[in-house]
Amino acid sequence: MASFGHQAYALGSKTVYLKWIKTNHRDIRIVRPGDDENVRSYCEKSGLYGVNGTFYYTYMDTPPSGYKALDVHRISMYNTNPGDRENPTAAQPVRPIGTTNVDNAGFMFCQEHTSTAIPNYIYSDRHQGTLASYKFQGQHSLDMTNIRWAVGGFGLHLDGDFGDKDTYDEALGDEGAWSGLFGQAPRTAIFYIGGQYIGENIVLLTVFGDSKLYDPANESATLSARTNCGVTPSELRSIIKDVFPSATTHGIMLDGGGSTGIAYKNASGRLETQMVGNQIGNTGVFIPRNANTMIVTPM
């Protein structure tokens, strides 16, 4: 069963607030909530818990210049649907829009069963093309009926030796990251922490600039800040490696900024949520962003 954790983390002169869910890879589900649902409302209805999903672009076939990466990840989201975790049905696209990963971006996948050819049941990599055209280590195609889930994002490169911020930023640039990605912002990530096949081996992590808890009755005042807070991608990576020292292999940075949100079961067994506020025009009124995709788990 999944568990919840949190920590205030000092990073130089600032403090950020980490919240995470540890779960097992077999309990992960990647879902597409309704068009008007946010992280909180989806979890209230479904009885599941989790974080916002990956980058997406919903209203244009061709994103504007500098935002290509938003379009990349829509076709890299798969879900075992329906079925229990021991006897899943074949993976089907959650958001089957587009045909190619034009930016050679990162993605992470989970297999139901390993094989001699592909011995990793969790793996992350870079790839240009559809998931079905991917070849493990350039040689072996994925058996799409054996894929539990897969999700696109920007690589955390937890197994890489990046001695400074610029080196990691360069790797993200090679994946099609746009200039706005490199600033401070709330963040969301999914990564593998090792351990046994049946234990807690996946972390769904969020990083906020404050510790506000969302209250639907006082929505605008209880949403977390979006600007002038949070962490850079490089800081996110360093936090993960510090707080989760066994996270040394596979992971993906998901959508962040105004999309960041987490819903979890607290120590009393109640649903709690933290989400970032997005201002409606210049009204001073803030609302949570709709969650076009989510990564969820039972708790």
Q: What is the mean pLDDT of residues 225-252?
A: 96
Q: Across-strand partners of 101?
A: none
Q: Is the pLDDT of residue 97 over 60?
A: no
Q: Is the pLDDT of residue 134 over 60?
A: yes
pLDDT band at 263 (very low <50, low <70, confident <90, very high): very high
3-state helix, strand, coil in the chain (%, to 5): 20, 35, 45
**What pTM, to 2 d.p., does this model score?**
0.88
79 three-class SS: strand
Predicted local distance difference test score (pLDDT) of residue 292: 78
List the domain range (segments joined by +) for residue 21. Answer: 3-297
Instruction: Determine contact, residues 31/293, Cβ cutoff 8 Å.
Output: yes
Q: Is the pLDDT of residue 255 over 70?
A: yes
Bridge-based pairing of strands 251-253 and 147-155 is antiparallel
Max mean pLDDT among 147-156, 176-185, 190-199, 229-238 falls in 229-238
What value does the mean pLDDT of the chain take? 84
- Tens of pLDDT, residue by residue over 199-217, are 999 999 999 999 999 999 9
Predicted local distance difference test score (pLDDT) of residue 236: 98
Predicted local distance difference test score (pLDDT) of residue 56: 54
Predicted local distance difference test score (pLDDT) of residue 103: 53
Q: What is the mean pLDDT of residues 214-227?
A: 95
> Which two tokens mark 178?
């746009």
Total Cβ atoms within 10 A of residue 76: 28
Predicted local distance difference test score (pLDDT) of residue 193: 98
The count of domains in the chain is 1
Structure-model confidence comparison of residues 134 and 78, the more confident one: 134
Predicted local distance difference test score (pLDDT) of residue 149: 82
